[in-house]
Amino acid sequence: MGKFKIVGGNKLHGSITPQGAKNEAMQVLCACLLTEEKVTITNLPDISDINNLIDILGDMGVCVNRISSDVVELQAKDIDFSYFESEKFTEKATRLRGSVMILGPMLARFGKGYLPKPGGDKIGRRRLDTHIIGLQKLGATFEDGNKCQVATAPSDGLKGTYMLLNEASVTGTANIIMAAVMAQGETTIFNAACEPYIVQLCRMLVSMGAQISGIGSNLLIINGVSKLNGTTHRLLADMIEVGSFIGMAAMTGSELTIKNAGIKDLGLIPDVFKSLGIKMEFRGDDIYIPAQEHYEVETFIDGSILTVADAPWPGFTPDLISIVLVVATQAKGTVLIHQKMFESRLFFVDKLIDMGAQIILCDPHRATVIGLDRTQQLHAVKMASPDIRAGVALLIAALSAKGTSIIENIEQIDRGYQNIDGRLRELGVEIERID
């Protein structure tokens, strides 16, 4: 188990470029299963979750050509169905939540798919019923297999239909879209997730020959086609990395430029950080953050306390709630953080309290942060990363803390952030990976 040793209190300087979007990558990699032709993905992040998914695709029989660390060619001509009955598949797939998105394209093209027990972050209940109900409406039937659920399409294929999703699940929407693009007739998906990741998946599928209208909205209409072609697709910049870097600059009072940030696809992210008092300038597609010794939480005319809450897109992404919370600890003012979607994501605040932050954990979903306005510097402690985003939030806290912090279980951070220690060292951070 690796650890990070971080000497806090140093300012960052220079510029950094965010990696390709992890969440988008998980979807578009699975989409390669929809065609026997070559699919090329560029701007791919070199992180463990993505590499593990590529390994699973390779084990399934997909020809994988890793041209460089950020470019991969995939060709799914033949699939080894016996692999899905193996211990190896079960072990790998259950460690990786994105593996559930293999199901939709497999059902669409081959009439059979497999749903392993999903892995990923332990941040609370993450239901799969949106996936299952949506695919059932297209005609799929599910039964218990030896290692996982086995889904089967009717002998004459999936059929298009109208469906209203019970929740705007991103991975659920992606799975259903990938099944519907090759279903017979028209599929209407209402209450679809409309995150930039879903928009990108739809654009990729259209470039492969799919017929999808309503892209970017919560109402998608898909006319099924019998065959899809190969394509080349470039991933967006990872909006979660962009938010993380904004938080790092603010917490350390540093001047930082985030290059090629994909500003038009960031939604509310810049506005939420601005509401904490963080200044930034948009320079083309770059975000410039000036050094600020102090940042003050926005106050409202009626005197109400700022609330930052997550919501389905175009609301604020839940993946940045942890980052906003840690940044608020050194702001001037009080913020209520409301994490609606996952009931275990705020439990890491105990570590911040140990560091000297003033936080009241009201319940599993809400925390009140009383900003210290740098009057009391956080102090270094030994801590462990519980999930990807909390791990980076603790890393940001350590960067601003007095003394040397140790973060354990950094495998969680490596799942979502490419070479984060090497990239931070280039910015002047004293960070070391130790055993």
Where does the chain hold its CATH 3.65.10.10 domain(s)?
3-19+237-434, 22-234
Cis peptide bond N-terminal to 314, omega within 30: yes
CA distance 70 to 234: 10
pLDDT at 123: 39
CA distance 336 to 369: 6
121 is known as an active-site residue:
yes
Domain 3-19+237-434, CATH: 3.65.10.10
pTM to 2 decimal places: 0.92
pLDDT at 117: 64
> Which CATH superfamily does the domain covering 22-234 fall into?
Enolpyruvate transferase domain (3.65.10.10)
Burial letters 99-115, b for 16+ CB under 10 A, else e: bbbbbbbbbbbebbbbb
pLDDT tens by residue, the chain, 435 residues = 689 999 999 999 999 999 999 999 999 999 999 999 999 999 999 998 999 999 999 999 999 999 999 999 999 998 998 898 888 888 888 888 788 999 999 999 999 998 876 544 443 445 678 899 999 999 999 988 766 788 999 999 999 999 999 999 999 999 999 999 999 999 999 999 999 999 999 999 999 999 999 999 999 999 999 999 999 999 999 999 999 999 999 999 999 999 999 999 999 999 999 999 999 999 999 999 999 999 999 988 788 899 999 999 999 999 999 999 999 999 999 999 999 887 777 888 999 999 999 999 999 899 999 999 999 999 999 999 888 888 999 999 999 999 999 999 999 899 889 999 999 999 999 999 998
Q: Which of 49, 59, 80, 121 is catalytic?
A: 121
Element holding 393 (H helix, E strand): helix 388-400
